[in-house]
A and B are shown apart, each in its own frame.
Chain A
């Protein structure tokens, strides 16, 4: 668990595999796999710089990876124009931003109450939260759509935000995290006369930065890619997020593949950049989503 044991362990495994031939085999396997994982992305980027009718035309050779004939940013300009990219991008930012931001507040409060505060019925509520994790969103989509239609919320931001703020899985992640931090600091603050809210805001929340980072990253990953629900509740481009916005290209043939690839590049890039910058936090975040095992 500590860095010391980790490096010691790595020494053991490297001791087993110090054979140079074995090392080359490992590299060969990893490079082959890396090619398989990356080629679709290289293809996407390369295609986004080609004329629309050239994307498929030279997809049957290594030319697929060379952006030639190079059309510059033409496809990007077209995609931004046709799909109203700035608008759709803003929609995605607003929706994901609210889901993640408000979610961090309400889910951590809930998780903290379950982990630390004394009240009647706590065990029942914990059991209910765990049961709710199993209910897949898809099973709720149709009745939720009905509810949304009844209150006239179709084609709004709130119908894309509100159902996803409170998340039983994230509550559970916060709950297990708060259980694991030592009580002594909170007790010290309490003796100084701080109420539960003060203790939470001043003492606990700062300690829980890794948990907040984890939930923020997972929440962003999930909400940014949502497709089913927004395609059910939005009709026009007004409040539509990025993954649904791609639909405008798929209406009438001939399909403008260059534009589509430019759009997917622009849709993928923000998350990819965030991932590359916060790689360590990403990896830790995903890793700790498996702790409940």
Chain B
């Protein structure tokens, strides 16, 4: 912007062209606002306004339909949530889910990306196969896996063979195994997406680095550690960040898979399941909004923390 400004002033020494340029610039600015207008209105209406509303509602007793007038109730909703065991249980469930899914799914995605990046015949076919579940919408994926995880389903039939009948849990009705079942479905459905991002990153690591490393006698593992990993660092961080955010937003699987939303004894109730339960099913918009605000603060701080932490670590 500054360069353009100085160029303008430089040429504006009374020549007739300067006036033209001035109007050209005005036309451009006017055009710019026209370009921004359609999406801008939509962003304000459907992101900024509801976000501000959420903050506003979170201090009131607003309900979806209610004969009582809306009242300002200060921090009551926040205090109510933060002292509610069920709220913390759902946060804890998100944490349990993330602790497994984020490292495991990222590592598996990297492993798959490295596999299909080998110069082997049929690697495109394998890439296609690993990506296919991404195109299965979650409502369908969850339905298929409900059948597979049935007490007498295919997963248990396979486990019975492998463990000689010692390990055949009733996955979705067990407080212990409902969450692992959800984790498996999530990884199955989502890992192909991350694989593709990391594959693209792998293919952009400069060849010369590998050549230099192998001339230096580095083993395959050493090359992976000192050439590949630093080379794809940015995309790895991206994948980690996005997977964490998506893990915090977990909703479809715990709603669709166990018999009751929230799962056996609320063992798969996540923050989002809890928020929709309070804010939508029980129509307590004030409470639900408070959860939304707390949730947003958690996601924001996680994102910032993760970015900062990973950035600094890389610079050492």
Contacts and interface: CB of A to CB of B under 8 A. Distances in A.
Interface string A186-214: 00000000011100100000000000000
B135 A117 contact: no
Contacts of A106: 38-39, 42
Given A142-B279, A275-B132, A166 B238 contact: no
Contact of A227 (B29, B127, B220, B252): B252
Given A38-B132, A47-B147, A109-B38, A139 B292 contact: yes
B235 A275 contact: no
B46 A163 contact: yes
A168 interface: yes
Interface residues of B, number: 110
* B35, B133, B143, B296, most chain A CB atoms within 10 A: B35
Interface stretch (B82-90, B175-183, B196-204): B196-204
B118 A243 contact: no
7 contacts: A40-B145, A44-B144, A56-B150, A142-B54, A142-B279, A165-B39, A227-B256
A163 B42 CA distance: 7
Interface of A: 1, 5-6, 8-17, 23, 26-27, 29-30, 33-34, 36-41, 43-44, 47, 55-56, 59-61, 64, 105-107, 109-110, 112-113, 117-120, 122, 125, 129, 132, 134-136, 138-147, 149, 162-166, 168, 171, 195-197, 200, 221, 224-225, 227-228, 232, 242-244, 246, 257, 260-261, 264, 267-268, 271-272, 274-276, 279, 282-283, 286-290, 292-293
A12 B120 contact: no
B214 to A, nearest CB: 7
Given A122-B32, A136-B245, 20 more contacts: A9-B203, A29-B115, A34-B129, A40-B148, A56-B152, A60-B156, A109-B35, A113-B31, A134-B299, A136-B299, A140-B47, A168-B43, A195-B27, A246-B140, A282-B131, A283-B127, A290-B197, A290-B198, A290-B200, A293-B237
A202 B69 CA distance: 55
A168 to B, nearest CB: 7
B296 A139 contact: yes
B147 A26 contact: no
A15 B28 CA distance: 55
